[in-house]
């Protein structure tokens, strides 16, 4: 490490995290997310989550690099990984809500996949120090970018978000109710994605429970919207059916994960 003296003290030219390739890629994604959000004409709650998630990746990598405790390193790497998957889910939401095109978000998802691959490899060596070993690459069973995208619960939640977007123009409810439905439907998706990225079963369970609560809340909000806008009553069974499917699948996932606690 190169160093210089400042006021008689030996100072490093760089922080440890600044020398990590994964940190450089995370910083690159911060710039990419800003360019993407600048293209969005009308913001939804996923835009705010994308802002915070991109920052969280960067900050948690820096925290992991500065930790002395191996346990704390793994926790911070898990936070960074979860935030990376949350950002990927935000990009999916912006597509299904017709704010961006698939081609717009593709480069960002490629960058996030690189980050996730590195973080998972770093977690395996975090008991000694934060370093970047040779990575075999993050892979999924299908042609998806990330493993949470292979979950039927996740894909159903995306379809529900798309359904709410199409229904919003026919709903005469208050803007506040529609904003709450945007928030709750987004919460289902993001908590599944981020929970999938956490390294501990306890954390995964926590996020799945939050996703389940958001599913129940979404169902209640759909009922409220239907009460205010009787004209959509014939269409709401489709949305409620998707929510019931999501709830059942989240329950099954939670039971599977609880066996590891």
Same domain, 119 and 156: no
Same domain, 40 and 93: yes
- Domain total of the chain: 2
Same domain, 91 and 161: no
**Is residue 196 a contact partner of residue 116, using CB atoms and an 8 Å limit?**
no
Q: How many helices (H) and strands (E) does the chain have?
A: 8, 2
Same domain, 91 and 180: no
Alpha-carbon dihedral sign for residues 82, 216, 213, 172: positive
Same domain, 31 and 121: yes
The tokens describing 150, both together, are 């292979």
> According to the model, what pLDDT value does residue 1 have?
41
Same domain, 159 and 121: no
Q: Note the pLDDT tens digit of each residue in 152-171.
A: 999 999 999 999 999 888 88
**Is residue 91 a contact partner of residue 109, using CB atoms and an 8 Å limit?**
yes
Q: Identify any residues that bridge with 9 across adjacent strands, giving them in sequence order.
A: 6
> According to the model, what pLDDT value does residue 75 have?
92
Q: How far is CA 161 from CA 9, 28, 32, 234, in A?
A: 56, 28, 24, 18
Per-residue pLDDT of the chain in tens (261 residues, 90 and over written 9): 444 554 555 445 666 788 899 999 999 999 999 999 999 988 999 999 999 999 999 999 999 988 888 889 999 999 999 999 999 999 999 999 999 999 999 999 999 999 999 999 988 876 555 455 555 455 555 567 899 999 999 999 999 999 999 988 888 777 888 999 999 999 999 999 999 999 889 999 999 999 999 999 999 999 999 998 888 888 999 999 999 999 999 999 999 998 877
Helix, strand, or coil (residue 88)? helix
> According to the model, what pLDDT value does residue 62 have?
94
Q: Note the pLDDT tens digit of each residue in 166-222.
A: 988 888 777 888 999 999 999 999 999 999 999 889 999 999 999 999 999 999 999
Average pLDDT for the chain: 88
93 occurs within a structural domain: yes
Q: Which domain holds residue 91?
A: 11-125
Distance from C-alpha of 247 to C-alpha of 241, rounded to nearest angstrom: 10
Domain finish residue from 84, 107, 125: 125
Same domain, 166 and 60: no
232 occurs within a structural domain: yes
CA dihedral 116, 118, 119, 122 (to 10 degrees): 160
């Amino acid at each position: 490490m190169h160093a210089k003296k400042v006021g008689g003290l030996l100072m490093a030219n760089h922080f440890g995290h600044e020398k990590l390739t994964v940190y450089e890629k995370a910083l690159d994604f911060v710039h990419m997310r800003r360019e993407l959000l600048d293209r969005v004409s009308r913001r939804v709650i996923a835009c705010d989550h994308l802002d915070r998630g991109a920052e969280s990746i960067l900050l948690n990598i820096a925290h992991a690099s500065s930790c002395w405790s191996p346990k704390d390193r793994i926790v911070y790497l898990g936070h960074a990984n979860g935030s990376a998957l949350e950002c990927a889910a935000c990009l999916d939401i912006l597509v299904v809500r017709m704010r961006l095109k698939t081609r717009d978000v593709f480069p960002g998802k490629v960058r996030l996949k690189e980050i996730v691959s590195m973080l998972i490899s770093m977690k395996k060596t975090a008991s000694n120090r934060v370093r970047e070993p040779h990575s075999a690459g993050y892979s999924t069973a299908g042609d998806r970018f990330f493993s949470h995208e292979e979950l039927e619960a996740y894909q159903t939640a995306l379809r529900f978000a798309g359904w709410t977007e199409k229904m919003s123009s026919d709903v005469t409810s208050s803007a506040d109710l529609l904003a709450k439905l945007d928030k709750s439907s987004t919460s289902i998706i993001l908590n599944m994605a981020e929970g999938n990225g956490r390294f501990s079963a306890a954390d995964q369970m926590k996020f799945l429970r939050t996703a389940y609560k958001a599913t129940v809340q979404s169902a209640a909000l759909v009922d409220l919207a239907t009460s205010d806008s009787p004209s959509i009553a014939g269409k709401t069974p489709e949305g409620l059916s998707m929510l019931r499917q999501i709830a059942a699948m989240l329950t099954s996932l939670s039971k599977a994960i609880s066996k590891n606690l």
